[in-house]
């Protein structure tokens, strides 16, 4: 399995997963040109994508979608409500649109959508399951027991560590935006993400910290916070990786 976070943050998100011969993209929130360039940098080709799975309709998750479908004919999968809420929905070729509710099977790989709490039409995370298991879960306000169950057993996990609570509270954002981010349909903090992983029965071998805020977080702070929680819990078997808005982070199993 190869997992490459091509970009992650408020300006654009895209994650590539290769598993059992299938090549998938979770979100397409950067330009199709950059997606192609980042894929070529890890020895992959955009023409070989078996599908793009969209988590929700916000611009930082769909901005490259129209070009991907029109130029390369890439198949797109998402919840029906998400498709209808996309600003670019009418520009997508109808033959590339694949509404899903729960899961889709691509040969030996199953991609399952699961509900996440976020301020979008019908947002989801994804479990990619074959001979191994990868979970991508970002843009969520909290982790409840049902969401915790979806995180179980991932060998590689891409998980949101959006903000440090104190940096956000003391930062320059207006109160309404702080309230949104801290709310039940907002974004996950460094500490809450760490606690979610610490509470798993089967923790990932590799954990990629994703969707870091440029204003309310720092990469070293995200890593230190997660490591501190793990240390308190006696956890020393999870490898941490920081993702970035401007460069690819790639891991393999």
From CA 101, how far away is CA 104, in angstroms rounded?
Answer: 9
* Predicted pLDDT of residue 144: 94
pLDDT tens string, the chain, 253 residues long: the values are: 999 999 999 999 999 999 999 999 999 999 999 999 999 999 999 999 999 999 999 999 999 999 999 999 999 999 999 999 999 999 999 999 999 999 999 999 999 999 999 999 999 999 999 999 999 999 999 999 999 999 999 999 999 999 999 999 999 999 999 999 999 999 999 999 999 999 999 999 999 999 999 999 999 999 999 999 999 999 999 999 999 999 999 999 9
| DSSP H helices in the chain | 32-41, 59-62, 65-72, 80-85, 145-151, 165-170, 175-182, 190-198, 219-232
* Predicted pLDDT of residue 140: 97
Spatial contact of 217 and 164, defined as CB atoms under 8 Å apart: yes
Structure tokens at 80: 């029906």
pTM for this model (two decimals): 0.97
Domains of the chain: 2-252 (3.60.15.10)
């Amino acid at each position: 399995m190869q997992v490459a976070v091509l970009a992650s943050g408020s300006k654009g998100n895209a994650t590539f997963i290769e598993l059992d011969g299938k090549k998938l993209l979770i979100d397409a929130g950067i330009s199709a040109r950059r997606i192609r360039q980042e894929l070529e940098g890890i020895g992959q080709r955009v023409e070989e994508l078996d599908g793009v799975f969209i988590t929700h309709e916000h611009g930082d998750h769909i901005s490259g979608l129209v070009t991907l479908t029109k130029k390369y004919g890439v198949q797109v999968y998402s919840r029906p409500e998400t498709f209808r809420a996309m600003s670019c929905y009418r520009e997508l070729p109808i033959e590339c649109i694949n509404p899903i509710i729960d899961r889709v099977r691509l040969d030996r790989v199953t991609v399952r959508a699961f509900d996440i709490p976020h301020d979008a039409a019908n947002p989801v995370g994804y479990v990619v399951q074959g001979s191994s298991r990868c979970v991508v879960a970002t843009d969520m306000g909290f982790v409840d027991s049902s969401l915790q169950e979806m995180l179980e057993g991932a060998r590689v996990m891409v998980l949101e560590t959006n903000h440090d609570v104190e940096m956000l509270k003391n930062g320059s954002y207006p109160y309404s935006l702080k309230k949104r981010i801290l709310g039940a349909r907002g974004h996950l903090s460094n500490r809450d993400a760490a606690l979610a992983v610490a509470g798993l029965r089967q923790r990932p071998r590799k954990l990629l910290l994703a969707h870091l805020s440029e204003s309310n977080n720092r990469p070293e702070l995200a890593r230190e916070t997660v490591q501190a929680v793990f240390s308190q819990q006696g956890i020393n078997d999870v490898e941490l990786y920081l993702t970035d808005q401007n460069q690819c982070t790639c891991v393999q199993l």
